[in-house]
Amino acid sequence: MKNTFSLLLALLCPLFGKAQPIPVYLDDTQPIEARVQDALARMTLEEKVRLCTAQSKFSSHGVPRLGIPEIWMSDGPHGVREEISWDSWNAAGFTNDSCTAFPALTCLAATWNPEMAALYGKSVGEEARYRRKDILLGPGCNIYRTPLNGRNFEYLGEDPYLASTLIVPYVRELQKNGVAACVKHFALNNQEKWRGHIDVEVSDRALYEIYLPAFKAAVQKGGAWSVMGSYNRVRGEHACHNNLLLNRILKGEWTFDGCVVTDWGGAHDTREAVFNGLDIEMGTYTDGLSKSRDFAYDNYHLAKKYLQGLQDGTYPLATVEDKAARVLRLIFRTAMNRRRPWGAFTSQAHYDAARRIGEEGIVLLKNETPRRSRAALLPIDTTVYRHILVVGDNAVRRLTEGGGSSELKVQHEISPLQGLTKRYGDKITYTQGYAAGRPRYGKTEEPTIDTDSLRRAALELAREADLVIFIGGLNKNYQQDCEAGDRIQYNLPFGQDELIPALAEVNPRMVLVLLSGNAVEMKWVKKIPAIVQGWYLGSEAGHALSAVLSGEVCPSGKLPFSFPVQLADNGAHAFDALCYPGDSIHEVYKEDIFVGYRWHDTQNIPALFPFGHGLSYTTFDYGKATLSAETMQEGDTLTLTVPVKNSGAAAGKEVVQLYIGDVESSLPRPTKELKAFRKIDLKAGETRDVTFDITADDLRYFDDARHGWVAEPGKFVLYVGSSSTDIRARKTIILK
């Protein structure tokens, strides 16, 4: 209720000569803390408790008597979800809630570009604001631990530095719209299998070095106003009311002043919810997916049970004072912020943003010259290839549908086939090749079409084509890239692993486009000359993809996670089942800090495509690296400079990556760790010096025994490269 009698009275009295000042909590020229304390002093105990619970599927209570509005929330990180009914998971049936779909966050991570992260946050924030949302439930920054995690496509990759660098501008620009980011899922939600109860055991080193840095950056550098807890347990307590995560780390060490919101159905215990850092409870008595109990909101853990405990002295009043203050702080930053802009919805600027992000995130994995050809297949030369066959279900499938809470109702979605047809016209022929069932939440649906006939038709057409573009990969079906279920296989589904090499056998001039949010097994990789990782690209998918394939845009994306050759090459799968997926009750992260490329490097297990890898239509030469000094002490800053030249014929962007390795340390450390990167845009023939500042903070590791960050004196190697394995320059420094 955003316009109450008390608010009108306070505003109208001065017009009639009444000297009644506006209450402090209503005056947004006053400091927020003064407004919070003033509002608390006017509220009853019952009103304070009600702030902590839901009033509908996607809103929580305000204080109508004081003119303090409720909070409205929406999924998700890639676009604003369609309106959901008040007390069910059914769509509300609105006709004005078709949004812009932005690329999945794995694609944003693949841009390696903070400017794209800022554009993303600004654009999705404007859409949320236009739809009158106060909290956008995202972005997600859980670490990519295993390629089987069903929600990896919603996150920012395997490296904590990359994720931290990109989440900060996203959060800042989103919140400039007066819409709170709700950074999720805090913490260690690295799988969907048994997510509601699996109890994760992880070392403090891995927690602080790998799994927490992006959340910390979002809170301390991004200024996030809310954080969502995860479903799983951590060291015996559910993460949505976990003393270690919420009280000691988030609100203690990081001095977070915002709200902790449960994931839907993530609260399980009243006492833990009261004492262990939870502020707003959503979705209790649901499974977070479909089930619901009518009129259950007063039965939440932070509702009647909490109020009764406060009244009889079971729970201290200080607990509700803190929770209510945090909720009020959030309301004053969002719903009662009269200075926030109006936002915009499905604007051309937003479609342009979605396309730009998609273009920068597409990764060229491989681009070789096939047999009986004179040049690499990409970019497509239409003077050579006049008859182009497009094969694959993902060429026409709506990939904004399915996936769980990230599913979007879009105003339009340009499919890859539409984008290619618009660019190449009647040169394009399409055949489906394989089939997948419809996306069904929590269920696997098999296709009803005769898949053998699809395969035969594709092979016949491929024999006659000048060029074959296969567009496949995963989709948003259950047990693929989807909430509530992990993948059950590392290889490609729907018979693609048989179809792909068969197509290459009849026509070696084949470009393979993978649309997925996860790495996949590629036993046929040597037979395919050109491979593109295309992600889920949102509303402008077809336009972004065709721009890169045609050469209008030079590819510049880099992988935000490693592609293992086989599943056993991934650290989470290198041990027993207790390491992944657990024994259904407990799970132990036995690979510890050695996640992703850290595992591949340290164990000397080459990845199929390494972290940071991505090719271009041009070439970049790295010159000799120089250092401002070769020794340093605590407090010093060294500058590393390396010249980079675009030595090819086309303009392009390169991501220059800096890794640092500790030659000898008291505790085990990875061979090297990403510590900085720069994305530069160079014209053909242009050279630019890329500089990195290095301090002792870049040399530290987390010492469990000291519970602190340590930089040990000794020798460190600086690696400058185009990927985690394509190292172009090395320098050594000594920390005294």
Q: Where are the domains of the chain?
A: 23-80+97-333, 362-561, 618-735
What is the DSSP secondary structure assignment for residue 717, as one 8-state letter?
Answer: E
Q: What is the pLDDT of residue 286?
A: 75
Lookup: tokens for 441: 């939440």
Looking at the domain 618-735, which fold is it?
Immunoglobulin-like (2.60.40)
Lookup: tokens for 635: 């407090």
pLDDT band at 76 (very low <50, low <70, confident <90, very high): confident
Q: What share of the chain is helix, strand, coil (3-state, %, to 5)?
A: 30, 20, 50
Judge whether 412 and 539 are in contact, CB under 8 Å: yes
Compute the average pLDDT of residues 262-285: 96
Identical fold between 362-561 and 618-735: no
Per-residue pLDDT tens for 182-235?
A: 999 999 999 999 999 999 999 999 999 999 999 999 999 999 999 999 999 999
pLDDT band at 339 (very low <50, low <70, confident <90, very high): very high
- pLDDT of 1 > 70? The answer is no
Amino acid identity, position 84: I
The phi, psi pair for 66, rounded to 5°, reads -105, 5
> Can you give the C-alpha Rg of the chain in angstroms?
26
Compute the average pLDDT of residues 408-436: 97
Q: What is the pLDDT of residue 232?
A: 98
Per-residue pLDDT tens for 548-599?
A: 999 999 999 999 999 999 999 999 999 999 999 999 999 999 999 999 999 9
Q: What is the pLDDT of residue 5?
A: 46
Compute the average pLDDT of residues 435-458: 88
Compute the average pLDDT of residues 599-610: 98
Share of the chain above pLDDT 90, in %: 91
Q: Which CATH architecture has domain 23-80+97-333?
A: Alpha-Beta Barrel (3.20)
Per-residue pLDDT tens for 293-331?
A: 555 788 899 999 999 999 999 999 999 999 999 999 999
Share of the chain above pLDDT 70, in %: 96
Q: What is the pLDDT of residue 2?
A: 40
Q: What is the pLDDT of residue 465?
A: 97
Compute the average pLDDT of residues 492-508: 97
Q: What is the pLDDT of residue 18?
A: 56
Q: What is the pLDDT of residue 469?
A: 98
- Helices then strands, each counted (H, E), the chain: 17, 28
Cα–Cα distance measured from residue 65 to residue 12, given in angstroms and rounded to the nearest whole number = 17
Q: Pick the residue with more confidence: 3 or 449?
A: 449
Establish whether 263 is a catalytic residue. yes
Compute the average pLDDT of residues 2-7: 47
Cα–Cα distance measured from residue 109 to residue 155, given in angstroms and rounded to the nearest whole number = 8
Q: Give Cα separations from 326 to 256, 259, 319, 358 (angstroms).
A: 10, 6, 11, 36
**Terminal CA-CA length for the chain:** 62
Q: Which CATH architecture has domain 362-561?
A: 3-Layer(aba) Sandwich (3.40)
Compute the average pLDDT of residues 516-526: 98
Selecting among 75, 159, 199, 263, the annotated active-site residue is 263
Per-residue pLDDT tens for 352-403?
A: 999 999 999 999 999 999 887 889 999 999 999 999 999 999 999 999 999 9
Per-residue pLDDT tens for 148-179?
A: 999 999 999 999 999 999 999 999 999 999 99
* Residue 188 burial (10 A CB sphere; 0-12, 13-18, 19+): buried
Per-residue pLDDT tens for 119-146?
A: 999 999 999 999 999 999 999 999 999 9
- pLDDT of 625 > 80? The answer is yes
Q: What is the pLDDT of residue 3?
A: 42
Q: What is the pLDDT of residue 243?
A: 98
